[in-house]
Amino acid sequence: MSLRLPAACAAWTQPDFQAVLLAELQQAGALVRPLQQGIARGSHALTDDVCLMVLQRNETAEHLQIRAGLSYFSIIPGCACEADPTPMSEVPEYVELQIDIHRADAATSLQLLAD
């Protein structure tokens, strides 16, 4: 998948950068894989209610570099059997991502950071 974030690139100096970045990542479906890979407590990442916080920002002549913390939920599903008393429960999750946006064409790479 080729990921481009032109709106986030354009909003770099704007106060709403964090919201623009999250919206564009969600619209592109780019958070599904890293959130699923980052699960520590559940079994399936829920990507609808994600909170993104920019932890660190850096810029070079060629790139915008963002370290972001993402809070979200995963679920631990029951077997969905009629007699299964185990309800689906949401558990909180947290991951950090390195996001690099190329200034010239807004090509973007995401890297899940280790704890």
Q: For residue range 65-92, what is the model confidence (pLDDT) as tens digits?
A: 999 999 999 998 765 566 666 667 889 9
Rounded Cα–Cα distance for residues 25 and 4 (Å)? 9
Sketch the domain layout of the chain as residue ranges: 6-50+70-108
Q: What is the pTM of this model?
A: 0.88
Beta bridge partners of 56: 67
Please check the confidence at residue 6 and state whether its pLDDT lies above 60: yes
Q: Compute the residue count for the chain.
A: 115
With vertex at residue 66, the alpha carbon angle to CA 44 and CA 105, rounded to the nearest 5 degrees, is: 100
